[in-house]
Structure 1
Amino acid sequence: MTLPESILHEVFGYAQFRGPQAAIVDHVIAGGDALVLMPTGGGKSLCYQIPAIARQRAGQGVAIVVSPLIALMHDQVGALHEAGVEAAFLNSTLSGEEANAVEKRLLRGEVTLLYAAPERVTTPRFLAQLDALHERCQLSLFAIDEAHCVSQWGHDFRPEYRALTVLHERYAGVPRIALTATADALTRADIVERLQLEEARQFVSSFDRPNIRYTIVEKKDVTTQLLRFIEREHAGEAGVVYCQSRKRVEELAQTLSEAGVAALPYHAGLDAAVRQKHQDRFLREDGIVMVATIAFGMGIDKPDVRFVAHVDMPKNIEGYYQETGRAGRDGQPADAWMAYGLQDVVNQRRMIDESPAGEDFKQVMVGKLDALLALAEAIDCRRVRLLGYFGETYPHASPDAGPPQGGRGPLGGQRGHEVPSVGATCGNCDNCLTPPQVWDGTDAARKLLSTIYRVQQHSGISFGAGHIMDILRGKTTEKVTQFGHERLSTFGLGAEFSEQQLRGVLRQLIATGALAVNAQAFNTLQLTDGSRAVLKGELPVMLRESTAAPARTRTRRDKAPPAVAAALGEEAQARFAALKAWRAEVARAHNLPAYVIFHDATLAAIAALAPRTLDDLQGVSGIGAKKLEAYGGEVLRVCEGPF
């Protein structure tokens, strides 16, 4: 074995590297800088943890890991301790005495990896400590996790990441590895510029997560739709539900709880202790559904999240991809489910328009929103479009391929994204499994725009979507009568169109800029320069039929074992259940999530093996030397029964 392979096997208990991991590890051990794009669950942390261990063994000192989240630091340090690696963190959860003790260990060279937030790393006190280590050649590498946070084009921009340029300027000879799961071409270029990684080698893995099934439905009664989805598909399983507002989070968590779902709320407005308690329950208990704003999620390593649902549309595809990627980290089947409607489109466009940012920034944000809307309205394969946004064709290229070249975006705009592969299908999204019916909405679009034009001419003011649709469908409401709009030439001209159909047309007109929403005037609709092409019939409007998503037949799985254990025989199932119960006790004693002790896949492999000696456990994936020493005897005892 090479040194990296030896560490992988001995410390982490894995037989071989996946995808580009080996190339990344070798490059960083040799002192090279790297930018790593690897999907959630792809094994990014090993790409800096193994080089840190290797360089520390070679006498090159400590690795500094820049991490934005306290929860992630705690769990990763806990996992490293379980594997026998000296790791520590410095954050606000430590007392002054505890922090001083960590700093002394750091300066004595007793720590292999130190985790710290970007705000702390750039303080004069911390930099002085790094200076002292650097003078003694005891800084092995810098790992900058969640590197997309440095980019204003990223979905989770954090200004404090910008100050990390000091690492390159002050410690030029120390290798740096920047890692993220989500970055389109624009964001990647910004990361390179902001972190001064122009000379870094880029490793871009496939963005494909084939185990995730993508489903996007038209929002009708979203609470009922969500509840039906959970009850039919994921009863008793862990999941995350994302909402835009804190109020919506609390209301939905309560509704789900009253319906028998073990749901908890999470948002930045909750007391910090409550947030921590809810996050700990989610990580440590089975079957918890977290209802949250986007304040929750980054750095959450829970492997058995079986679904991620969005009841409100995210701002862009990067956010959507990052959030859905938290499902199925264990490689087992998982769902990404989203409901969206006309109000989502209106709200997102309004937020961009009301932003104090400059026009260039707003144009980029509109382009990103357009790409997400194109994904939502798509009548072809969702996965093809999703991968195309990140510059990847489907079936995807080799994981070792270099950074993709720019192209034309999903809406035809030049956004630095590749054109989706025409006709390709993934077999694991709603459009591939149940191809939608398509209808030509061009006539309806022209009639809607004509109605808006005539209303403005007649009344001198603008109106919202509901009123415009009432006029076109010929509904004599109180408002229609009040303003005399029943006398307009377009009144009743679209009676053949349902409200659902017209809402779909309006969504697309707003998404493509053929209509604008005036947030300052009660979200009224206004024509734009882009309206003319549609009115003239020069721009076709093709839409998917508005239908309820068919329910998949699936047995309730509250009492069933995880998918990794489903193929086990009766006796092995009993061993697996006993091992899970034992693991839960150990995790509670160590104040760690259960998966940090052993993943479900490792327990399933042990249960199938029915080991009798410690030698039998050698080579089981996920059991390194330290874990074999610490838990081997207990595992054998549990496997003996009785069950």
Structure 2
Amino acid sequence: MTSPVPPLSVSTATDALNRVFGYPAFRGQQGDIVEHVIAGGDALVLMPTGGGKSLCYQIPALVRPGTGVVISPLIALMQDQVDALRTLGVRAGFLNSTQDLDERRLVEAEFVAGELDLLYVAPEGLGTPGVQRLLDRGTISLFAIDEAHCVAQWGHDFRPDYLNLSMLHERWPDVPRIALTATATPATRDEIATRLQLTGARHFTASFDRPNIQYRIVGKNAPSKQLLDLLRSEHAGHCGIVYCLSRASVEKHASFLTENGIPALPYHAGLDARTRAANQARFLREDGLVMVATIAFGMGIDKPDVRFVAHLDLPKSVEGYYQETGRAGRDGLPSTAWLAYGLQDVVQQRKMIDGSDGDAAHRRNAGRHLDAMLALCESVTCRREQLLSYFGQQDTAPTCGNCDVCLNPPESWDGTVPAQKLLSTVFRLQKERGQKFGAGQSIDILTGKRTDKVTQFRHDELTVFGIGADLREAEWRGVVRQLLAGGFLAVEGEYGTLVLTDRSGEVLRGERKLMMRRETAAPKAGRSSGGSRGGSGGRAAAPPVDLPEAAVPVFERLRAWRGSVAKEQGVPAYVIFHDATLRAIAALSPRTMDELGTVSGVGQSKLTKFGQQVLDAVAEAGPE
């Protein structure tokens, strides 16, 4: 364990914000939430990733008497969270399965003696009688339930142990509780409140908009090469996350990127715990690394300088997509959320739902989640508007100006006749021949290709053979994809064969007009690319775009100093100072401790610990 930290003396929320965290003022609803919890009120807080949720419980824990108990599912990150707080002068500790007996006893003694401001525990641990008896022996200032969406049984990060957290209210009825999440639809919000017995809590819902993130969804065509082009042209030397659906795909793409000069690490449940922990630690501590991962990675990652999140497979839900893309740009700088999406993604996801072990209600719910995700992918309107609407937030602006649809509006075209042709092909195969095939066979029939399979089954004798030669294969795949997305076509069975649905007749009978999205060329990187252009994977990351040219050498010197200190202390670099703080220091070029203390993000503890070193680094990088 780290050495004991002397108690902080803060009397008000503003005092804690300024002296401990170094921020001049609260953002958005932070101030209202903090004052409500300090006064003893329960709260349910919905705030986007990077919106400052942690301050909403950390500051009340400093102001109220006792220890704030934080329930977090992120065992692998607790050490970093505690290290970051102790760097700020906050007395923090954690209890989880990674500790040995002596470490655990020390933390327990600190808690009972009232020597901790914050104590992090996992939900699994909180459910044990031992931890509950321990908490009874101390003074609890509040309970903070982080990642509260884990309680939602239909959610993408469901954790069964969260269901037991209703006992907090029953066992400690006078202790205020604050539940926090970055992802929740109105329905999930209600489920969280009900399951955690927070129905009487005050709800605080911040805007879900992340204006610094540029959302882009592209047609999938050689996704490995598409990804490599993106990283080389826009994010050379940058830190990012690449999400894949399978473990094999993770390994394949991590190797592919490394072979092409981009340092990348794999992360998935098939790796042993030590390898996963080592890779996560490297990602948090090193600059310019790319993590290629399944969705097992990322929740609670507090790395502020993730410049891109790329998806090589279709996410299962909008909630999952939003949560994963939200790991980019926590520092507020321009970042990219990029998704490659194709017909096979739709087929694969439908097959997974149909073959799942859940009951009919589970499959229907999974289908609804997928439908919403497909609607986002196929949208001809602003992506951001679609996202915000999904979470119950109506945006007054018609376009955001920072997504692929706004930057390069797609054309729409009347796809009714091509849709009728394709559905007719499926109908004739299914009804006249008693056969079912995947999309490829139907497209070959429509485009008039006499492949071995077409001639083997005498499909060139069908009346629909060759009637779709006016469209390219890629265009036909788009028609199939959009029919699947709209529920006018379905897939079934192990081989993903196409079948008609109850809605197919609307199109075949001409009762439904179908406007479809025509694929366009990818937009040039806009203001949110945040990176260099046209480089190779080995190039250094571009300096921040909003930094004056004269301040760039100062910023780079500060980054080098920070890296050295972080390595010496064994903590991620952002625990010392975020890039945003270093940029502000570089732009100001302070000469005195008083000047340095005016920079946002430089609290009293960090000023005392690092102030003179920072001033020395600024002076060394300054003009001769």
Alignment of structure 1 residues 433-452 onto 2, 5 Å:
433-452=407-426
Given the alignment of the two structures, is residue 471 of structure 1 paired with residue 432 of structure 2, yes or no?
A: no
Q: Which residue of 2 aligns with 1:194?
A: 195
CA distance in 2, matches of 1:638, 1:282: 26
3-state SS of paired residue (2:306)? coil
- The residue number in structure 1 matching 2:573 is 594
Alignment partner, residue 116 of structure 2: 111
The one of 587, 603, 606 equivalent to 1:608 is 587
Number of the residue aligned with 2:5: none
1:621 corresponds to which residue?
600
Counterpart in the other structure of 1:381: 382
Whether 2:95 is the aligned partner of 1:90: answer yes
- Residues 218-265 of structure 1, C-alpha deviations (whole Å, 9 max, x = no match): 111111111111111111111100000000000001111111111111
Is 2:237–2:541's contact at 8 Å kept on the other side of the alignment?
Answer: no
Q: Give, in whole Å, the separation in 2 of the partners of 1:548 and 1:607.
A: 39
Please identify, of 204-213 and 479-488, the stretch whose mean Cα deviation from structure 2 is larger: 479-488
Structure 1 residue 560 displacement after superposition:
5.3
Query: Which of 545, 550, 553 in structure 2 is aligned with 1:574?
Result: 553
Partner of 2:281: 280
Partner of 1:418: none
Post-superposition offset of 1:92: 2.0
Partner of 2:518: 545
Residue 158 of structure 2 aligns to a residue whose secondary structure is coil
Match for residue 411 of structure 1? none
Report deviation, 1:315: 0.2
TM-score (norm 1): 0.92
Shift of the alpha carbon at 1:173?
Answer: 1.2
Question: 1:508 Cα shift?
Answer: 1.8
In the alignment, structure 1 residue 563 sits paired with structure 2 residue 564 = no
Regions of 4+ moved over 3 Å: 550-554, 556-562
SS of equivalent to 1:52: helix
Aligned to 1:7: 16
| SS at structure 2 position matched to 1:563 | coil
Partners of 1:218 and 1:546 within 8 A in 2: yes
- Please say if residues 153 and 186 of structure 1, whose CA atoms lie closer than 8 Å, have aligned partners that are also in contact: no
**TM alignment of 1:263-274, pairs within 5 A:** 263-274=264-275
Q: Determine the C-alpha separation between the residues in 2 that align with 1:102 and 1:306.
A: 36
Distance in 2 (alpha carbons) for counterparts of 1:611 and 1:513: 61
Q: Distance in 1 between matches of 2:534 and 2:438?
A: 43
Query: In the alignment, what sits opposite 2:41?
Result: 32
Residues 282-329 of structure 1: CA deviation (Å, up to 9, x unaligned): 111111111110011001111111110000000000000000011111
- Give the Å deviation of 1:585: 1.3
1:577–1:438 CA distance, 2 compared to 1 (3 A): same
Q: Which residue of 1 aligns with 2:6?
A: none
- Where in structure 2 are the equivalents of 1:212-227 lying within 5 Å? 212-227=213-228
Q: Is the 8 A contact 1:444 1:505 kept in 2?
A: yes
Give the letter aligned to residue 568 of structure 1.
Answer: P
CA distance in 1 between partners of 2:512 and 2:244 (Å) = 34
AA aligned opposite 2:610: Y
2 CA distance for matches of 1:607 and 1:454?
Answer: 69
Residues 4 and 147 of structure 1, relative CA distance in 2, 3 Å threshold: same
**Which residue in the other structure is 1:510 paired with?**
484
Distance 2:296 2:205 in 1: 27
Deviation at 1:561, TM superposition (A): 4.8
Residue matched to 1:125: 130
Instruction: Return the match for 2:502 from 521, 525, 529.
Output: 529
Q: Which amino acid aligns with 1:26?
A: E
Q: After superposition, give the CA deviation of every residue in 1:311-369 in whole Å (9 maximum; x if it has no partner).
A: 00000000000000111111010000001111111111111112222222322221121
Letter of the 2:170 partner, please give it: E
Q: How does 1:67-216 map to 2 (within 5 A)?
A: 67-133=72-138, 138-216=139-217
Pick which of 578-587 and 138-147 moved more: 578-587
SS at match of 2:274: helix
Contact 1:144–1:176 at 8 Å: present in 2 too? Answer: yes
- Is the partner of 2:498 in helix, strand or coil? strand
Deviations 1:536-576 (A, max 9, x none): 12222222213341443863574455426x52343x32222
Q: CA deviation at 1:395?
A: 3.3
Relative distance call for 1:231 and 1:642 in structure 2 (3 A) is: closer
Could you report, residue by residue, the CA deviation over 1:370-405 in whole angstroms, capped at 9, with x for unpaired residues? 111011011111111111101111138xxxxxxxxx
Quote the residue 1:63 is aligned against: 68
Partner AA of 2:38 in structure 1: I
C-alpha distance in structure 1 between counterparts of 2:542 and 2:498, whole Å: 52
Q: Please report how far the alpha carbon of residue 642 of structure 1 lies from its aligned counterpart in structure 2 after TM superposition.
A: 5.9
The residue type paired with residue 472 of structure 2 is S
Q: CA deviation at 1:535?
A: 1.1
CA separation in 2, counterparts of 1:29 and 1:472? 67
Is the CA contact (8 Å cut-off) linking 2:305 and 2:329 kept in structure 1? yes
Distance 1:556 1:507 in 2: 33
Asked if 2 retains the 8 angstrom alpha-carbon contact of 1:234 and 1:556, the reply is no
Q: Work out the CA distance in 2 between the residues paired with 1:595 and 1:537.
A: 59
Identity level (%): 58
The answer (yes or no) to whether the contact 2:581–2:601 under 8 Å persists in 1 is yes
Q: After superposition, give the CA deviation of every residue in 1:608-635 in whole Å (9 maximum; x if it has no partner).
A: 2222221221221111111111111211
Q: Is the 8 A contact 2:13 2:34 kept in 1?
A: yes
- 1: CA distance between counterparts of 2:621 and 2:556? 12
Return the alpha-carbon distance in structure 1 between the equivalents of residues 584 and 419 of structure 2. 57
The partner residue of 1:519 within 459, 475, 493 is: 493
Structure 1 letter corresponding to 2:285: R
Distance between the aligned counterparts of 1:20 and 1:64, measured in 2?
Answer: 22
Length-normalised TM-score, structure 2: 0.94
Amino acid in the other structure paired with 1:473: T
CA contact (8 A) 2:444 2:450 kept: yes
- How far did 1:519 drift? 2.3
Matched, 1:457 2:431: yes
Contact 1:471/1:486 (<8 A) preserved: yes
Q: Secondary structure of the residue that 1:337 maps to in structure 2?
A: strand
Contact kept in structure 2, 1:215 and 1:429, CA below 8 Å: yes
Distance in 1 (alpha carbons) for counterparts of 2:359 and 2:241 = 34
CA distance in 1, matches of 2:525, 2:552: 26
**Gaps spanning 5+ residues in structure 2: where?**
1-9, 527-531
CA contact (8 A) 1:232 1:551 kept: no
Aligned match of 1:347: 348
SS at match of 1:215: strand
SS at match of 1:12: coil
**CA-CA distance at 1:2 after TM superposition:** 7.8
8 Å Cα contact 2:445-2:454 kept in structure 1:
yes
